[in-house]
A = this chain, B = another copy of it.
Amino acid sequence: MTPAATVPDILRECGQKGIKRAIIQSAGFREYSESGLQLENELNEIAAEYNMRFIGPNGIGAINMENGLCLPFIKFKKFIKKGDVSIITQSGGVGLSSINLMTNEGIGLNKMVSVGNMVNTNAEDVLEYLIEDPGTKTIFLYLEGLRDGRRLMEIAKRSLKPILAFKSNIGVLGQKIAASHTASITSDDSVVDTAFEQAGIIRIHDGTALASNLKTLELPPMKGRNLAIISRSGGHAIMAADACEIYGFNLVELSESFLKDIEKHFKASVIKLTNPLDLGDLFDLKVYAQIIEQTLQLKEVDGIVLLHTAFSDEENEASRELLKGLVESVKKYNKPVTYFLASSAEEVSYLKQNFDFPIFTRVVETIRALEINHKNYLSHEDLKLVDKIPSFNADKEKVRDLIEVAKSENRDLLLSEAIEVLECYGIPAVKSAIACNVEELKEAAEKIGYPIAFKVIAEAISHKSDIGGVQLNIRNAKGAESAYNVMMEKIFKVYPDAVIDGVLVQPMVNSGHEIIVGGRQDEQFGPVVVVGLGGIFVEIFKESEVRVAPITKVAAINMVESLRGYQILKGSRGHKPYDVESLVDAILKISQLLVDFPEIAELDINPLRVLHEGQGCLALDGRIILN
């Protein structure tokens, strides 16, 4: 408990004594002030000098339930239970309250590391340790920022253990200002979403609701989406069925003979049997256990939601027996059952402390938990598939030259250069020529063939079409001349001092569907590739999909199919389908380009015209911004 200013000297003394590991809990470093940041740098230097490693500062240290190490400077009301969940947290408070939540829910801790400012040891370092740590079965990660997103992904992909992450701080990160379209339609937080998914990390959005999720991850995997709901209350059954609809689970149809078998147990026969199975008519809980076992035996059932209500004390014993049987059945049939109980707080608490099994007190969460369990299963299955990143031949030398020239002139790539880069990577682009005056324009148009379109080339002008900088559908030399004059007049009205490098002349392309493809360098995850519907869709609806590059073909197809407008591309209501194959190809090539050239900060093809099936696609405009 020593102030920040005193820490460097103390650390040095430790070094001199030959101490190799330190945990620094003091605050008042980078998170507080400029001079605090300097103190932090000093700590790193001292650590290097004495070959030390340290955790912190601005954390609450570490807990290891295996050897009894417990460093947080706060007393707990209850002993922490030893178990197999380990926590990495950037906030001491969240770490402690996570342990508190786990204790309340009867979930045991294995290790906790409060990484604080992550100066010498960051979250990725600790994660790398925990995925190999024999005592840890499940990992919970609380992060406010990331140091090295790519490394986090790489480590997580290697993990056979479920990793649950709560990444906060979505707002501040989302506020960055972007120069290109692709950058503006992908917040940093959407990159976090996709990066976690690509790495098999399960992202949750309320760190204080994690407890039941942790327990559900230790249930057997939900391998498919076929669910049976068994409920003592018809109302709870309907709530669960609604949640199934929202989360996309199927309520399997149960066979006549199966239902008849169950009806035999009923006395009054006043409830119609179906799935959800409303057992409101049944008062012997031993029969419940039989029905659950019978249902688990069904091949078509991947998992069960059991909604139990027990309001009378006299049922406690039978209820607990039911749960005991349930725990065994789950093990025996290796299928998950999420168990909701409406009962007194005391009874729920007793069960949580005495059964190593998730007890839910909210209906919707039983379904959400199965969704998380299923997602975890799927992503580990996906990661098992060795799906190679495709590689394309590209004229890298030429691209390198174009970038070098632009860099030496301290500018971004020109429109024509950007088109050249795309062509070097085999992305079809319209034939184009540059013209610096009306005569050159007419000459170029003659070569390309009317009708043509032309656009101004000028660094300072971003949204060209808004100020008349794009002229379409020019049919002859006379039209070209007047369009050129109109364009220049308009531009100089808005930008009197514009430096114009000429106009880019292209053939007029009317067919195809407008798509935007591009990417950018993300601060935390490196190159990301983006696809979206062009035109109004990108401007107003910001419909897009993003992935951390490089990506596999399966991932590129998934990006396209995930677009809300995919129906248009595949040909809706009798319209001809578009060439999705060529779009997928273009995405993969952009993915490779961004990985090959980290100098490219942002890249836009807007639009890429995707023609009808079999006819490929065509980049009409390109924009490459260097960093």
Interface residues of A (CB under 8 A from B): 3-4, 26-28, 31-33, 74-78, 89-97, 100-101, 103-104, 142, 144, 166, 168-171, 174, 205-209, 231-236, 238-239, 241-242, 244-246, 268-272, 280-281, 309, 311-314, 340, 342-349, 361-364, 463, 466-467, 536, 539-541, 564-565, 567-568, 572-574
Say how far A557's CB is from chain B's closest CB, in angstroms: 19
A144 contacts B312, C-beta separation under 8 Å: no
Chain A to chain B: the 6 pairs with minimum beta-carbon distance, closest first: A93-B233, A91-B235, A94-B235, A28-B270, A97-B342, A75-B312
A346 to B, closest residue via Cβ = B77
Q: Looking at the complex, which one of B26, B142, B347, B540 makes contact with A567 (CB distance below 8 Å)?
A: B540
Say how far A429's CB is from chain B's closest CB, in angstroms: 25
Q: How far apart sit A92 and B270, CA to CA, in the bound complex (Å)?
A: 15
A169 contacts B238, C-beta separation under 8 Å: yes
Q: How far apart sit A353 and B75, CA to CA, in the bound complex (Å)?
A: 25
B76 contacts A208, C-beta separation under 8 Å: no
A168 contacts B344, C-beta separation under 8 Å: no
B170 contacts A342, C-beta separation under 8 Å: no
What residues of chain B lie closer than 8 Å to A244, measured between beta carbons?
171
Other than A4-B270, A77-B344, A100-B344, give 11 A-B pairs with Cβ distance below 8 A. Answer: A26-B270, A27-B281, A74-B311, A76-B311, A91-B236, A94-B236, A104-B345, A142-B235, A144-B235, A536-B568, A541-B541
Say how far A388's CB is from chain B's closest CB, in angstroms: 33
A208 contacts B342, C-beta separation under 8 Å: yes
Q: Say yes or no: A271-B27 contact (C-beta < 8 A), given A89-B235, A100-B342, A235-B94.
A: yes
B564 contacts A92, C-beta separation under 8 Å: no
Say how far A368's CB is from chain B's closest CB, in angstroms: 10
A239 contacts B361, C-beta separation under 8 Å: no
A97 to B, closest residue via Cβ = B342
A172 to B, closest residue via Cβ = B241
A90 to B, closest residue via Cβ = B235
A189 to B, closest residue via Cβ = B242
A101 contacts B342, C-beta separation under 8 Å: yes
Q: How far apart sit A466 and B246, CA to CA, in the bound complex (Å)?
A: 32
Q: Which of A97, A244, A343 has the most CB of B within 10 A?
A: A97
B311 contacts A344, C-beta separation under 8 Å: no
A364 to B, closest residue via Cβ = B206
A242 contacts B344, C-beta separation under 8 Å: no
Q: Looking at the complex, which one of B97, B170, B361, B565 makes contact with A245 (CB distance below 8 Å)?
A: B170
